[in-house]
Structures are given as C-alpha cells and as structure tokens.
Amino acid sequence: MEKEDQKKVKLEKTYPLILRPVLLDADSLKDTLKLGVAVRKRLNDLLSPETRGKADAAIVVFVDGDEMPGAITPSGTYTIQGYSVKVRLVLSQDDKTVATLYVEGSKRDPDALAARITAAIAQSAQKY
C-alpha cells in the first residue's frame, strides 16, 4: 500500500480497558464504604451517551470482569481516620504495576470520593 493510500485509511481509536476494581478497607479487609461498587458504577457510566459528550470525560471501556490481556486492573486499600478517607490505588496491566495513585476524600460523601477515584483511574489509564 502506498503512503498516500495509507493516509486515507482511518483506524478506530482504541480506548483503555478497565477491569473490575477491588477496594478494601485496610483495617477490616472488607469494602466497608462500598467504594468498589460505586467506582464500578461510575466507570460503567463513562460510556453512557450523557457522559461521552462532556469535554472533560476521559474515555475508557469498563469490562465487568477479572481478567483480560492488556486491560488495566485497579486495586487498592483505603484507611479511615475520623471522616477522612485516604485511598492508595495500584493500576496493574498484565501482572505489572503501571501506576500508583493516591486519592483523598470524606467518609461523609462516598459518592464524591468514588468520583475522584474514577477520574484518577480514567485519567491515568489514558497513558497505557
């Protein structure tokens, strides 16, 4: 194929695949704040028509599964001190850590914390 012909071929843009996140309270080793469920819902919502049109929406594809070659798996723990929640999140791809993220929020507003976590995952995933 000639260079001029190659330029005419439009390839679809690929988006990072994000697998089901696992978030646990570091003390109880359970998801006491249900952040995993909230982040899963928000990741899934990133592909909704309402979200796709927003300029600040990072596009990722959420796959509600545990394994897929090349996909990013978010996992981590959080600590609760009073009303403050500190999350340490690791993004793994093909069994290798590609990023470590830190997010903070309030126990009083777990939905806002889930939004921050989701945004951090989506933004960081754009690099891989």
Comparing 54 with 30, which gets the higher pLDDT? 30
pLDDT, tens digit, for every residue of 29-46? Answer: 999 999 999 999 999 988
The DSSP 8-state label assigned to residue 29 in this structure reads S
Look at residue 18 and tell me whether its pLDDT is greater than 70.
Answer: yes
Please state the domain extents for the chain: 14-125
Phi (first) and psi of residue 38, to 5 degrees: -65, -40
Look at residue 3 and tell me whether its pLDDT is greater than 80.
Answer: no
Specify the pTM. 0.83
pLDDT, tens digit, for every residue of 58-83? Answer: 588 999 999 999 999 999 999 999 99
CATH number of 14-125: 3.40.50.10070
Q: At what angle do helices 110-125 and 35-45 cross, to 10 degrees?
A: 50
